[in-house]
Amino acid sequence: MRLYLSLLLVFSLHGQAPPKSLNPKVEKIVSSVSTERIAATLQRLEAFGTRNIFSSHEHPTRGVGAAYRWIADSMKAYSPRLQVTLDEHQLKQSGRVFRDVKIVNVVAVLPGTTQKDRHVIISGHYDSLHIVRKKVGELERMDQEATVAADAPGVSDDGSGTAAVMELARVMSQYEFEKTIVFVAFAGEEYGLLGANEYAKRAKAEKTIIDAVLNNDIIGNDMAGNGRAANSSVRLFSEDPIDSPSRTLARYVKEVGERYVPSMNVNAVFRADRFGRGGDHTPFDRIGYPAVRFTTPSEFYANQHTGSDTFANASPAYAARVTQVNAAVAAALAWAPPAPDISTKTRSVTSNEEVEGPSLSRGKTGYDAFLKWKEVGDVTDLAGFSVVRRDSTAPFWEKEQWVGIGKEFRLVDVSIDDIVLGVKAVDKEGNESPVSVYRIVPRKLP
């Protein structure tokens, strides 16, 4: 460790980047994820019979109430530092909610230290669904009451995401992080992202700062219905546009996740979700929070929303590897400095109004790329900043240049028309913030 810190000082003094070595604390967290505990959680969730939100809240062993009480009690037992609450919402009949219902998110907050107002959310949904259909004239429709009564084991969809949330709450609650980490088992995903939508609306109303939502949904199987297997990759969905907050987070997840879990390929899919479908990251993304979805590339469609989504058809080992990717990203991000502030107030050329835009220009020569940024917060362990760039059509960052502790940088004879630029903060342990992306602000038409 002394040698590493000495090298880091030399690198910083000479204006070079700290080496991209692995943070041993993050490595330990990743290695602490237990396949056996994830398997036990999946089996316990299956044993509730159903976790449909319209099932019993009072029965001691079957139904949604028994499930959320067990999840909450389990997380309370992990650490006294976890602040566990049942986040209840009374919803009226509307749309897919065929009668009034109470939904309950299970929320476990691990308070941060120096950046406690910044939140990193790790989520999955614990409710399950087994659709039973009935003939109505010439059509088949969901039989609502039979669906509620049916066994709905929901092991992969989404007991697997819940198991990931619980396992990371267990492991990560043994550490202190600069940012606050929130572990959430959402309710009501199967009836329209209900619990996530309520949580996101409240976060926006309370002006909560959320640096990332890492949502896990269907990460419990690695064999598709057509026989295709993929146990060394995970799909990561993020919404357009190309440099949206969610897309920027996806790039971060891929880089950090593969750095700490090299056996896994994070397949970044540049779409909001699978075709015609959605998940609990969606309400966050739609109001501007960076939010992504992890899901298996080997979905077994015949098992989804049926009685055959069972432990026997799941892969706890695969779910554990995806959980490790989540662990690496969440830990690195929760210890990282905030992303730099690249915004500045400028006068619109056309309207003379003050507008928010990036501190990016062609410099005095007109042929350079000149950028400036501001440090966010009081970061005592900041090593400096790195500027990254890529071609305008490239999906991922291609080049990186260490700046050091300065807050401006000039790329000589580099046209800002042809490339995309960004800047990130790096602390003395090598933890990196997500990239703040410089985008040209469109002029307002008169």
Contact yes or no for 332/24 (Cβ under 8 A)? no
Give me the pLDDT at residue 254, please. 98
Count Cα atoms within 13 angstroms, Cβ side, for 357. 17
Q: Distance between CA 225 and CA 217 in Å, rounded?
A: 18
Contact yes or no for 158/223 (Cβ under 8 A)? no
Contact yes or no for 278/272 (Cβ under 8 A)? yes
CA 298 to each of CA 218, 326, 387: distance values in angstroms, whole numbers, following the listed order: 9, 19, 37
Q: In the predicted model, what is the mean pLDDT of the chain?
A: 91
CA angle 438, 441, 444 (to 5 degrees): 175
Token pair belonging to 369:
């790329």
Give me the pLDDT at residue 345, please. 56
Give me the pLDDT at residue 135, please. 84
Q: Considering all CA atoms of the chain, what is the largest pairwise distance in Å, rounded to the nearest integer? A: 77
CA 173 to each of CA 27, 176, 271, 331: distance values in angstroms, whole numbers, following the listed order: 15, 7, 32, 11
Token pair belonging to 231:
């146990």
Q: Is the pTM of this model over 0.85?
A: yes
Spatial CA neighbour of 124 closest among 169, 163, 170, 161: 161
Contact yes or no for 402/369 (Cβ under 8 A)? no
What residues contact 88, with CB distance under 8 A and at least 6 apart? 102, 103, 104
Instruction: Give the DSSP letter of residue 150.
Output: S
Count Cα atoms within 13 angstroms, Cβ side, for 272. 14
Q: Distance between CA 294 and CA 215 in Å, rounded?
A: 6
Q: Distance between CA 424 and CA 252 in Å, rounded?
A: 11
In order, the DSSP letters of 217-277 are -S-S--B-TTS-B-SSEEEEE--SSTTSHHHHHHHHHHHHHHHH-TT-EEEEE-SSSSTT-
Q: Print pLDDT tens along the chain (446 aa).
A: 333 333 343 333 334 555 567 899 999 999 999 999 999 999 999 999 999 999 999 999 999 999 999 999 999 999 999 999 999 999 999 999 999 999 999 999 999 999 999 999 999 999 999 999 998 888 889 999 999 999 999 999 999 999 999 999 999 999 999 999 999 999 999 999 999 999 999 999 999 999 999 999 999 999 999 998 889 999 999 999 999 999 999 999 999 999 999 999 999 999 999 988 889 999 999 999 999 999 999 999 999 999 999 999 999 999 999 999 999 999 999 999 999 999 865 544 445 555 555 688 888 888 999 999 999 987 888 999 999 999 999 999 999 999 999 899 999 999 888 999 999 999 998 899 999 999 776 666 55
Contact yes or no for 41/166 (Cβ under 8 A)? yes
Q: Distance between CA 69 and CA 57 in Å, rounded?
A: 9
In order, the DSSP letters of 113-129 are STEEEEEEEEEEE----
Give me the pLDDT at residue 19, please. 55
Give the β-pairing of 382-391 and 354-358.
Answer: unpaired
How does 117-137 read in b/e, with b if 16+ C-beta sit within 10 Å?
ebbbbbbbbbbbbbebeeeee
Give me the pLDDT at residue 8, please. 40
Give me the pLDDT at residue 245, please. 96
What domains are defined for the chain?
Answer: 32-335 (3.40.630.10), 343-438 (2.60.40.10)
Give me the pLDDT at residue 349, please. 46
Alpha carbon 403 to its chain centroid, in Å, reads 28
Q: Distance between CA 369 and CA 68 in Å, rounded?
A: 53
Spatial CA neighbour of 163 closest among 57, 75, 270: 75
